[in-house]
Amino acid sequence: MKAQRMDRSVAIAAREYAPYLEATWGFKNHWYPAFFSQEISENEIKAVTIAGHDIVLRRVHGRLFGLRDKCAHRGARFSQEPMCLNDESITCWYHGFTYGLSDGVLKTILASPEDPIIGKVRIRTYPVEERGGMVFIFVGDEDYRPLPTLESDQPPRMTDNPVFPYLFDENVFSRGIHRTVNSNWRLGMENGNDPTHILIHRKNFYVVMSGSKLPLGFLPASPEAGKFIEMPDGQKGVWGVNHDHYRPIMENRYLGLSVPKPVAGPRIDTYRISSWMPSALLVEDFPGSEWSTIEWYVPIDDTRHEYWQVALKLCRDENDRKAAAEFYETIGLPIGFENFNEIDLVARERLQQHYQDPEQFGQEAFFAGDIAIVSWRKLASRFNRGIQAAPQQSER
């Protein structure tokens, strides 16, 4: 009887975020990061898969063009053997079909320059924008218009906290890494903003060496904790841990555990986390004081995501930039991104074993600490611009 009641309440909660449960391949019609700008040099060809879309990029005269990475003739992928014979096109290495970079139209065939199908066949193109040292691609329906702004799909400037940098600030120092994680993208999103997963960080090098004790977790302390954040430029987010809306839990009597209050330690009053559509996390005051980190969990396919970590710091001059670079190389990257966050990757991949069956999303026994995850699911269900379907074999 008890079990039945529980099942029903789980089902009711899950109905409130039904679209999210369908988003195994991510949400379509959003901007996603694809590369750091410096990863694609002039004339270089790069391939990326986002939410099941195989995309090839070429940079010509500084500008980037994105096309479907599949030849209309017999399906060869351009990126498998890049061939470009002028500045306006990309040529398939197999039989020489040559497509315009900006419109994807078949312009010529190497061995059949008068062929009647020239001009009548095309492959799709993708909008590409390059800002703040990063390359973003708009992934989804080819005819989706109007194109939303790039800003609307990134964590916003947190105007009430002007000391913190914004991704597209002119004088921002930004540096980071990205790598592939073997879990569904939602397990990335739901790891970053999870207020009680701090448990997995307790053995972290920095935590142990500094003698600081992490709380046992965080619980919501105000109704604001689960509210949507809607920003003027269209960004939609929800709070993860922050010190206005959450309180640290320092004791568990059943287990006889209590965490000593820190005498001194890193400033944590401005440390706060928020999640943003379609797949980003903003962490203010990490990996150092007055830094921010943006993480993205970009769906690749149904079982992998590209995990991005980008550190941001406002710099007034060249000296600031040098200091920021040194901090990033000696602390931010090795101790923050690599050491501290390593266990997050392990956790996501471990959970993937369970969520391999996508039906498991929505079946969880959520508790009070999961409000950030539940709110995120509701937000994503409400503000997505479409659910990405699994690619048909013929489309890939």
- Considering only residues 330-369, where is the footprint of Fe ion by CB under 5 A? 344
Residue with Cβ nearer ligand FES (97 or 327): 97
168 binds ligand FES (CB under 6 A): no
> Which structure tokens are listed for 363?
């079946």
Dihedrals phi, psi of 325, to nearest 5 degrees = -65, -40
List, in sequence order, every residue forming a beta bridge with 86; answer none if it has no partner.
Answer: none
Quick check: 67 and 99 in contact, CB under 8 A?
yes
- Considering only residues 75-134, where is the footprint of ligand FES by CB under 6 A? 76, 92, 94-97
45 binds ligand FES (CB under 6 A): no
Q: How many CB atoms lie within 10 A of CB 378?
A: 18
Residue with Cβ nearer ligand FES (75 or 265): 75
Q: Rounded distance, CA 183 to CA 305, Å?
A: 6
Q: Binding partner of residue 73 among Fe ion, ligand FES, none, CB under 5 to 8 Å per kind?
A: ligand FES
Write b or e for each residue in 311-329: b if 16 or more Cβ atoms lie within 10 A of its Cβ, otherwise e.
bbbbbeeeeeeeebeebbe
Q: Binding partner of residue 51 among Fe ion, ligand FES, none, CB under 5 to 8 Å per kind?
A: none
73 binds ligand FES (CB under 6 A): yes
> Which structure tokens are listed for 173?
């120092």
Q: Binding partner of residue 234 among ligand FES, Fe ion, none, CB under 5 to 8 Å per kind?
A: none
Q: Rounded distance, CA 153 to CA 165, Å?
A: 17
351 binds ligand FES (CB under 6 A): no
- Considering only residues 37-96, where is the footprint of Fe ion by CB under 5 A? none
- The contacts of residue 147 (CB under 8 Å, 6+ apart) are 127, 138
Quote the least distance from Cβ 98 to ligand FES, whole Å: 9
**One-character DSSP codes across 167-199:** TT-TTEEEEEEEEEESS-HHHHHHHHT-TTGGG
Residue with Cβ nearer Fe ion (93 or 340): 340
Residue with Cβ nearer Fe ion (121 or 343): 343
Residue with Cβ nearer ligand FES (96 or 369): 96
Q: Rounded distance, CA 116 to CA 322, Å?
A: 58
**What percent helix, strand, coil does the chain show, rounded to 5?**
30, 30, 45
Residue with Cβ nearer ligand FES (69 or 153): 69
71 binds ligand FES (CB under 6 A): yes
Residue with Cβ nearer Fe ion (302 or 344): 344
302 binds Fe ion (CB under 5 A): no
Sole binder of ligand FES in the list 74, 227, 261, 350 (CB under 6 A): 74
Q: Cis peptide before 266, with omega less than 30 degrees from 0?
A: no
Quick check: 76 and 93 in contact, CB under 8 A?
yes
Cβ-proximal residue to Fe ion, closest one: 344
Quick check: 384 and 152 in contact, CB under 8 A?
no
Residue with Cβ nearer Fe ion (150 or 241): 241
295 binds Fe ion (CB under 5 A): no
Residues near Fe ion (CB under 5 A), total: 1
Residue with Cβ nearer ligand FES (115 or 130): 115
Q: Binding partner of residue 344 among ligand FES, Fe ion, none, CB under 5 to 8 Å per kind?
A: Fe ion
Residue with Cβ nearer ligand FES (92 or 300): 92
Angle (CA) 37 342 285, round 5°: 70
**Where does the chain have alpha helices with state H?**
2-15, 18-22, 185-192, 205-210, 318-327, 341-355, 371-383
Quote the least distance from Cβ 88 to ligand FES, whole Å: 18
Q: Is the dihedral of CA 359, 365, 370, 375 positive or negative?
A: positive
Quote the least distance from Cβ 66 to ligand FES, whole Å: 18
Binding segment toward ligand FES, per CB under 6 A, in 70-78, 255-263, 294-302, 352-360: 70-78
Quote the least distance from Cβ 124 to ligand FES, whole Å: 15
Quote the least distance from Cβ 248 to ligand FES, whole Å: 59
Binding site for ligand FES (CB under 6 A): 71, 73-74, 76, 92, 94-97
Binding site for Fe ion (CB under 5 A): 344
